[in-house]
Amino acid sequence: MKNSVLLVSLLLIVSCKKAVPSQERKTDSVIVSEQRENTSALDSSKINKSNDTLQSVHSNSDENGSTQNGEIVKLIDGERLPSTLECEFTDKIQKVVVRITNYKKDQLKATIMPENNNMNIRFNQIKTPDGKYDGPFGRDISYKISGKGEVALIIGKNLMADGDNIGRFSVRVE
């Protein structure tokens, strides 16, 4: 009995170590489907284009903002803080990048204040002057900044929670 168990276990070990022949090829798992002839092509003139909805309500903010692919970028001079930005998400997939130039303080504090408390929005990441990223955070952030330079706050939908992120909100940066 002992010998047969030993023989079976040796056979299992040897069979598991069997090399895979190099002739076998792995295939890609991408599935290609053809478009039917009766489907209509998307007319680019019918696409709704969203404008920059980020507006400054504080006189210390820089008015240089831009929108690209659902990303709203806003510049603030770090020497003019505290500052409050009035923002609005009009699409489900949007984010705001608040770039704070000339940031010289040791501690950054910021708060998101939505008009609707059930709005699903948070600080997703922070980029420090040394190029490192950290996050995610909640609606409030208090972060120790090492070094001087540009800090970026990335605000968007919390993908780990339910809820809609369309609506108006304010961002207070100190």
Q: Give the pLDDT of residue 92.
A: 82
pLDDT tens digits for range 91-134: 888 899 999 999 999 999 999 999 988 899 999 999 999 999 99
Q: What percent of the chain has pLDDT over 90?
A: 40
State how far the Cα of 94 lies from the Cα of 68, in Å rounded to an integer. Answer: 10
Stretch 145-166: mean pLDDT: 89
Q: Model-level pTM? A: 0.61
| CB-based contacts of 63-71 (< 8 A; 24+ apart in sequence) | 70/94, 70/95, 71/95, 71/96, 71/97
Q: What percent of the chain has pLDDT over 70?
A: 66
Q: Give the pLDDT of residue 64.
A: 46
Confidence of residue 136 (pLDDT cuts 50, 70, 90): very high
pLDDT tens digits for range 34-69: 444 444 444 434 434 333 333 333 333 334 455 666
Q: Does 25 have pLDDT greater than 60?
A: no
Domain boundaries, the chain: 70-173
Residue 74 · residue 96 · CB < 8 Å: yes
Q: Give the pLDDT of residue 19.
A: 55
**Could you give phi then psi for residue 12, rounded to 5 degrees?**
-65, -45
Coil, strand or helix at 162: coil
Choosing among 3.30.230.10, 2.60.120.380, 3.90.420.10, 3.40.50.300, the CATH entry for 70-173 is 2.60.120.380
State how far the Cα of 94 lies from the Cα of 54, in Å rounded to an integer. Answer: 12
